[in-house]
A and B are shown apart, each in its own frame.
Chain A
Amino acid sequence: MKPSDKTILIVDDDQDYLFQLKSKLEKFGFKTLTAEGQKEAEALIEKTKPDLAILDLMMENEDSGFILCYKLKKKYPDVPIIIATGVTAETGISFDIYDENNRKWIKADCFLDKGVRTEVLKEEIDKLLILH
């Protein structure tokens, strides 16, 4: 498996984060698709099936990432999803992703903090791509 065969969809409303993650992933040799919100991403997946998706949680609404995740899994059950968010246990405001009950709901394959090191992210992506 060569990274260059794989397309990763990145969805985040922080354009800087989007840009940085995109260049990181392209450096690893992946192809990327980007969207700045749930709506834009939904339109995108109508036409294209990515090999993996990395989603932010709070975008247009505080649960945008969750709804997107749900729709993505419904359309492409075999596409692994990483939820990368800045909202971690520290906040507990709207969505505690460490709560078992929420995890059951959000059918993501992996949860990562946005500040995670690049190597860790790469490892997770590779793991998920091999499994699927």
Chain B
Amino acid sequence: MPTLKILVVDDEPGIRSGVSRILRNFRVDYPFMDEAFDFEVLEASTGEAGIEIIESALPDILLLDNKLPGIQGIEVLEYIKKKQKSIIVVMITSYASLELAVKATSDGAYDFIPKPFTPQELKSSVENITKRVFLKKMTTKLHDTGKQIRFTFLSVLSHELKAPLNSIEGYLKMIKERQAGDKLEDYDVMIDRSLERIKGMRSLILDLLDLTKVESGKNKRNVTDVDLIQIAKTAMDTMRPYSIQRDVKLRLHGPEQAMIKADADEMEIIFNNLISNAIKYNKDGGSVDCTIRENEGCMGITVVDTGIGMSEADIEKIFDDFVRIKNEKTKNITGTGLGLSIVKKLTDHYSGKIEVSSIPDQGSTFNLRLPIIDKPCS
């Protein structure tokens, strides 16, 4: 029978012994599980002692009081998040403060048990968590085979494709029912918005094609001598109408030629994405500086913009599929959330490196290093 380790961190001995007593003979069994789970309870009276046990015994579940004599429960939670421990955390505390509840939730607390709790309340929470631990283990298994990644990707994709369809359908119905009266011009906004959503959908499909090329590219890659200066110039020329519209200056710095062994189409994808982003997330009247320089056997490509920038938290996410930074400043900027994830995948394929630094409201810098020949960049 699999045993789940439950760590109770609470300064009240009564709570700790209570939990031990309640869970001693408790079993969780579900028809879809192969076996029933039982529990081993570990105890700590302070957050510090709790962290020690987390390090040595790695519990599956943590029942955590917030008010502790030394460090607070929320700090233990932050520790777990920082160390990326796979522990399901339940706060045993009352909803004393909403701020705490929200903070704890965003730091990954899974549930709250109000204090004092009845044995039944504890059991039902532990039962739910056990189900979740079981599912998580199953998910990890799927994850390992890559199925989960594919599943998540497809489900997000279907969501991204469904949203514009729903909105276009909605507008068409409104037009069909003549909801704004008989004058055609009263429907202009709806028609424009529909066209805008179709445009968004088309760029999503184009990005998807790029992504498919990248993912299946290993065999079909056509590696030749490619001049990155030329590629950068072409990318800038393609974006020129858009940059003029935004009054954003595009500048290219570097030698006459910057040769590298690579697939020209893939280099184009990289430059198109980085430069179009630098314009898109810029401010009117801003500038984009692209610098290409050889350095220690690698080609360094730097794209600096004077745009809206991003927070640290945003930077962590931007290379994931379908991630778009949503805030007041990006509200009217359209995008598929795939561009940078494609750039990252390509960079990885070439054993290159990509780094970002950014200051909100001042701009972002993308630093890319690609090997000139087939040798990883330091």
Contact = CB atoms under 8 A, between A and B. Distances in A.
B166 A115 contact: yes
B98 A36 contact: no
B151 to A, nearest CB: 8
A17 B170 contact: yes
Contacts of A63: 105-106
Given A16-B170, A27-B179, A70-B98, A101 B111 contact: yes
A48 interface: no
B163 interface: yes
Contact of A14 (B111, B156, B167): B167
B155 A90 contact: yes
Contact of B102 (A20, A36, A67, A114): A67
Interface in A15-37: 15-17, 19-20, 23, 27, 36-37
A17 B155 contact: no
Contacts of A67: 102, 105
A93 B152 contact: yes
Contacts of B328: 37, 39
Q: Is the interface of B mostly helix, strand, loop or mixed?
A: helix
A122 interface: no
A86 B162 contact: yes
Contacts of B111: 101, 105
B171 A20 contact: yes
Interface string A64-100: 0001001100100000000000110011110000001
B102 A70 contact: yes
B327 A91 contact: no
A59 interface: yes
Interface string B156-191: 101100110011001100100001000000000000
B257 interface: no
Contacts, number: 63
Contacts of B156: 91, 93
Contacts of A70: 98, 101-102
A27 B328 CA distance: 29
Nearest to A17: B167
A37 B170 contact: no
A91 B155 CA distance: 5
A36 B331 contact: yes
B193 interface: yes
B326 A37 contact: yes
Interface of B: 98, 101-102, 105-106, 111, 128, 132, 152, 155-156, 158-159, 162-163, 166-167, 170-171, 174, 179, 193, 197, 326-328, 331
Given A16-B197, A37-B328, A91-B156, 5 more contacts: A74-B98, A86-B159, A87-B159, A90-B158, A93-B152
Interface of A: 13-17, 19-20, 23, 27, 36-37, 39, 59-61, 63, 67, 70-71, 74, 86-87, 90-93, 100-101, 105, 114-115
11 contacts: A14-B163, A20-B174, A23-B179, A27-B179, A70-B98, A86-B163, A86-B166, A90-B155, A91-B155, A91-B156, A100-B128
